[in-house]
Each structure stands twice: as C-alpha cells, then as structure tokens.
Amino acid sequence: MHSIWLLPMIFSFLPSALGVIGPPANSSTNSTLLNPILPGFHPDPSCVFVSEWNNTFFCASSSFEAFPGVPIHASRDLQNWKLVGNALNRPEQIPDLAITNKSTSGIWAPALRFHNGTFYITTTLVFDDQPQTNLSRWYNILLSSNNPYNESSWTDPIHFDFVGYDTSLFWDSDGSVYVTGSHPYNLQPGINQAPISLTTGAVGSITNVWNGTGGLAPEGPHVYFKDDWYYLMIAEGGTGLNHEEDIARSRNINGPYESNPANPIVTNANTSAYFQTVGHADLFQDANGNWWGCALSTRSGPEYIVYPMGRETVLTSVTWASGKFPVFTNVSGTETSWPLPPSDLSIPGSGPFINAPDAYTFPPGSTIPAHFAFWRLPISQNYVVSPSERPNSLRLTASTLNLTGYDGNYAATGQTFLGRRQVDSFFTYSVTLSFAPTAAEHEAGVSVFLVQSHHIDLGVVLLPSSSTSTSSANDTALTPYFRLRTTTSIPVPAPIQLTPVPAAWIQPNAPLELRLQIQACNLTHYAFGAAPVGAAHEMLTLGYGEAAAVSYGFTGTLVGVYATTNGGEEGGVEAYVGDWRYEGMGQVRD
C-alpha cells in the first residue's frame, strides 16, 4: 500500500532552513525565550558565561553510554546553540566506558567551570551495577581545556577518589579549590565536600556540608560566592516528577548551611505543565549582569508516559538581589525573560547548530560529524567513510551483537550502531541502504534507539521464505524481509511485523538498494517506511512504533543506523549507508 504521511498539524515553531532562531525583538526590553535551549538528550546541564571568549555561553551535558561524551555547546545569544566539541572525544580518555553494564551507567552530570583562562570539567564514569559503597562504582574524573573550540585540547582525565557523583569545583578567594558532590542515596544521602588538587586529583578530608531539605536524592550541587555568602544549590526529589531545586547558604565554605525558607526555588512538581522534572540547575550571569538558570526538564506532562527525548536542557531568568537568595522564573516552553543578547551566529568550530538539519553523503576525505554518537566505544574498523569499493557512503561492518546486545545490559565486544539525537518533537530521518545479506539473520536498518533494553528497529533481514504465512511452510530458501520490532520493558502493543521486500525491488545478483525512513508523525508514534532508491513515490509504510516504548530511564532517543548478524559471525556482512538526512518538522512547547 502507498502511504500518505500526514504532517503534524500543530507547530508551535517552524525552524527556518538553517534551523536558527531570529534576533530578539528588542535588546533593551524583556525578551521571549523558547525552551528547551538544548532539545533532546542533553540532561544535567552545567553552563558558564565567559567574557574573555567574546561574551560566549558554554554548556556541558551528560552523555551516559553515548560516545563521544560530554557535548559542549556554545552560544552568544542564549537561543542559537552550536556544538563546538565533545570533551570526551578519544577512547583512550575513558577506555572503561566499553565495559559499563546497565543502561543507567556511563558518564553522569559534568560540571563545567572556567577559572583563570582554563575550562574545567568534573564528571563521573558510573558503574551503576556495582554496590553503592564500592569506590569503583564512582570513577570521578577531572579534565581541562584551554580552547573549547579545539576538541583535542581536552586533557586526558585525572582520576580523583570520591564516593559519589555529580562532582563540581569551586575556587575560594584564598586560592583553595573544593570539590562538592552527592553521596550515594541509599547510604546516608547528603552533599559532601573536600579540598582537591587540580594537578594530582588528591582529595583532602571530606565534610558533610548539607543534607538538603529532606527530599529524595540530594544531588547536583554547585557552590557560588556572592555578597559574602557561600550559596550551595542542589537538586532533590529524584530526577522524575518530584524533581526540584533547593538552596542554602553559609558564611563559611564548610557550613553550617542554612536552608532558604522559600525552597524549592524552582520545580514543576504537582503542576499540569508540559515541561516536568525541572531541577539539576546551574547559575550564571550575562554581560549585562542579569542572572540565568539552566536546568533539566522533560517534555512529558504530568502523565509522564511519552517523553522519548528524555531530559533536555532549559533556561530561565533568575533575579538575585544583593544579600538575598536567588528567585527563579518558573520554567515553560515560551517565557518572558531578561533581554536576550543580540543574535550572533559567528561561533567558531565545525559542529552544527543544535537545530540544523542533517544532509550527509560521506564523501572521500570527510569524517563522521561531531554530533553523531556511538553506543559505548566504537570498534573503529566497523565504520569506514567512503570506502574505495563504494565512495560516498559509510560502510558498516556487522557486529555479532544486535542493538539489544547481551541481555540488554552490556556489549563489551561492541555493537555496530551510529546515531544522532532526536531534537525535535516531529522530524523525518532517512538514509539509503545498500545491503547484500548472505545468511539468515544478517540484518541492517534504522532504529529509534534509547538504550539496549529500549529501541524500535526497522531492519532489512534475511529469513527463511516460510517466515510469513503467505509463503510455503516448507520453503527453506532465504528471502529478504523488512522486520519492524520493538524492544522495551513498557507495556505497549509491539508485535513483530514482517513484510517481504517486494519482488520488484530485488534485482538478481545485486545488493538491495533501499531508502529507509523514520518519521515522528505525531507525539505518540513513529512511522517506519521504505522505498527503492530513487523511487520515493513507492514509499511503503511498514508500521508504527510507540514513543512510550522508548520513554524510560536517564537518556533520550537517538535515530541512526545499525548492522548485525544477530548472534552470527562477527563482521559476517557489510552494509553501505548514504544520503543521511534528518530534518526537524516542529517542536511542541505546551
């Protein structure tokens, strides 16, 4: 059947061709701010404003098992954000990411700071299957850069001992440096702090500075010094619907800290807002001295059932009067904010603006774009740009493991997968696929991938001809099928759908030449389709996947390509991907 793919009818924002947002209406009056500023899988944001670097704002966010890790986005106008590099961009920086087990493991909550000409990041490589008391569950690291536009400038990490996560640096006026972090929540939950050496990672004696206001999981601490007070701001309530941000202050860095009577200072808990889970905030000032808060939020509504993009980065205005606690503006999709700086897109670096469309043909001499992501460390020979036998394509060599890997938890031998973040409520993603499978279960395709235990795949797979009832039950010859299948723990309708590749699309003794497509056709469903290359009018809708099936955990969806032998020979087959396109088709903000 031919499909009619209806475009979503309700757009609250239509990106221009370049996907950038126009200048604020009037820089001397309040502005209209659109959230999220970093849509898609960009949780646990930490941002700084650096006047020395042409009045530029920089934000880091969590990457969990995605690699490269810790994306750094830069902006001069707080609305147009460009990926300028990934702090963890060399496998040698975090070799043990390859052996993390469990989908909640990996790189958690980087804190980005700028001090005396240098950028610093503290973050934790978490082995979330290990006991909370085990120091090796919390592999805390410190890295620095003297030029965030140059990925190679990020140093190899220095490891430091800290039982916990969400570590953040603070420089006191006497020159001493502290690390503040969250102590595991099923031990004595609280915020711990210690002096740290930035050169050796040596950590001094630990002080338990605050336990928060009594909410679950006090975490994500940052310390600020203002008007002779040390302010300690933390998240509580867990990163779900009860998430909130709280603050306390003290005349001494090590406390005692007194809680702000007006806590929580920002939350959307117990509201009907579309933007839920607001918390894990950080504070910074712009060139005019106005304060801003970044935080994470989930576009889920209080139902909290459909949120495939997971925890995204939002921005809000903050008023912080002298001697007083800061006051946040509630987070929503369209806010009146402090005047935004004038629009300025002249940010250095080769990465794309976050809402720019993709159009990649993998020509000779090109490299894999900086916003593409592998799951854990890539087996590098499995990804070849423009191989000599087929220039202008990306060659994927199939891994034994499929996207589920071993039991949905680990994949130490590698999974052949390459994706990019879903950053739009509605989008169309498509690639060409040239594939000549030779054995049963040889498979290549496209996926909406959240984690190994939650993904929706449209694969082209070789199966016995008897796999569908229309075939002779005795026919053991192998035939290519489209297989749409959902892997999830969430109770949604998800039958495996097998559709034989139409005979007219198969040329004798030649690879299949197909275009595969994923479209977020409405908020609750992804539509999966295929057509012969060069015959888009023949596009078949093969089925739908439920966005609820990939709304889970700490991360957000990637859309991308994969190749696997489903337990067969490692490297048993190759697939060639070309003409990679992703285009946003609208954001829902309310």
Choose one: 104-112, 223-231, 336-344, 363-371; the region binding ligand NAG (CB under 6 A). 336-344
Q: Is 32 in the site for ligand NAG (CB under 6 A)?
A: no
Q: Which value, in Å, is the radius of gyration of the alpha carbons in the chain? A: 24
Of positions 44, 166, 244, 583, contacts ligand NAG by CB under 6 A: 244
Element (H, E) at 51: none
Q: Is 481 in the site for ligand NAG (CB under 6 A)?
A: no
Q: Sheet of 46-50: strands edge to edge? A: 46-50, 56-60, 69-75, 82-88
CA 74 to CA 58: how far, in whole Å? 4
Residue type, 302: P
Q: Is 517 in the site for ligand NAG (CB under 6 A)?
A: no
Torsion angle, alpha carbons of 160, 162, 165, 171, to 10: -70
Q: How far is the CB of 338 from ligand NAG (least distance, A)?
A: 5
Contact 457, 484 (CB under 8 A): yes
Q: Is 346 in the site for ligand NAG (CB under 6 A)?
A: yes
Tell me the residue number closest to ligand NAG, measured at CB: 567
Choose one: 58-66, 223-231, 334-342, 532-540; the region binding ligand NAG (CB under 6 A). 334-342
> Helix, strand, or coil here: 410?
strand
Q: Is 208 in the site for ligand NAG (CB under 6 A)?
A: yes
Q: Is 54 in the site for ligand NAG (CB under 6 A)?
A: yes
The structure tokens 């929580």 sit at 264
Q: Is 197 in the site for ligand NAG (CB under 6 A)?
A: no
Q: How far is the CB of 294 from ligand NAG (least distance, A)?
A: 15
Q: Is 404 in the site for ligand NAG (CB under 6 A)?
A: yes
Work out whether strand 417-421 and strand 372-375 pair parallel, antiparallel, or are unpaired: antiparallel
Residue with Cβ nearer ligand NAG (136 or 334): 136
CA 11 to CA 163: how far, in whole Å? 46
Of positions 12, 51, 150, 489, contacts ligand NAG by CB under 6 A: 150
CA 89 to CA 202: how far, in whole Å? 25
- For residue 312, the cross-strand partners are 297
Q: Is 136 in the site for ligand NAG (CB under 6 A)?
A: yes
Of positions 53, 275, 353, 372, contacts ligand NAG by CB under 6 A: 53
CA 338 to CA 29: how far, in whole Å? 8
Q: How far is the CB of 429 from ligand NAG (least distance, A)?
A: 17
Contact 70, 110 (CB under 8 A): yes
Choose one: 75-83, 293-301, 406-414, 505-513; the region binding ligand NAG (CB under 6 A). 406-414
CA 253 to CA 209: how far, in whole Å? 9
Dihedral of alpha carbons 148, 149, 153, 158, sign: positive
Q: How far is the CB of 270 from ligand NAG (least distance, A)?
A: 4
Of positions 129, 172, 475, 569, contacts ligand NAG by CB under 6 A: 129
Residue with Cβ nearer ligand NAG (372 or 544): 544
Contact 568, 409 (CB under 8 A): no
Q: Is 367 in the site for ligand NAG (CB under 6 A)?
A: no
Of positions 64, 119, 127, 325, contacts ligand NAG by CB under 6 A: 127
Q: Is 190 in the site for ligand NAG (CB under 6 A)?
A: yes
Compute the residue count for the chain: 590
- For residue 178, the cross-strand partners are 170, 195
Q: List strand residue ranges (DSSP E) for 286-378, in order.
A: 291-299, 311-319, 327-328, 334-337, 358-360, 372-375
CB atoms under 10 Å from CB of 481, counted, come to: 21
- For residue 584, the cross-strand partners are 427
Of positions 12, 26, 380, 507, contacts ligand NAG by CB under 6 A: 26
Choose one: 160-168, 261-269, 276-284, 553-561; the region binding ligand NAG (CB under 6 A). 261-269
CA 525 to CA 324: how far, in whole Å? 47
Listing DSSP states for 569-588 in one string gives: -TT--EEEEEEEEEEE----
Residue with Cβ nearer ligand NAG (106 or 190): 190
Q: Between 554 and 573, how does the x/- string for binding to ligand NAG read (CB under 6 A)?
A: ------------xx------
Q: Is 489 in the site for ligand NAG (CB under 6 A)?
A: no
Contact 441, 460 (CB under 8 A): no
Q: How far is the CB of 359 from ligand NAG (least distance, A)?
A: 26
Tokens of residue 450, six digits: 């959240």
Choose one: 73-81, 145-153, 413-421, 530-538; the region binding ligand NAG (CB under 6 A). 145-153
Residue with Cβ nearer ligand NAG (506 or 588): 588
Q: Is 95 in the site for ligand NAG (CB under 6 A)?
A: no
Binding-site size for ligand NAG (CB under 6 A) equals 54
Q: Is 269 in the site for ligand NAG (CB under 6 A)?
A: yes
Q: Is 460 in the site for ligand NAG (CB under 6 A)?
A: no
Contact 422, 371 (CB under 8 A): no
221 upstream amide cis, omega within 30 of 0: no
CB-neighbour burial class of residue 537 (10 A; exposed 0-12, middle 13-18, buried 19+): exposed
Residue with Cβ nearer ligand NAG (341 or 578): 341
Of 336, 316, 311, give the one whose Cα is nearest residue 326: 316
Q: Is 261 in the site for ligand NAG (CB under 6 A)?
A: no
Residue with Cβ nearer ligand NAG (320 or 362): 320
**What is the contact surface with ligand NAG in residues (CB under 6 A)?**
26, 28-30, 53-54, 101, 116-117, 127, 129-131, 134, 136, 150, 152-153, 188, 190, 208-211, 242, 244, 264, 267, 269-270, 317, 319, 329, 336-338, 346, 402-404, 409-410, 412, 473-474, 485, 487, 521-522, 524-525, 544, 566-567
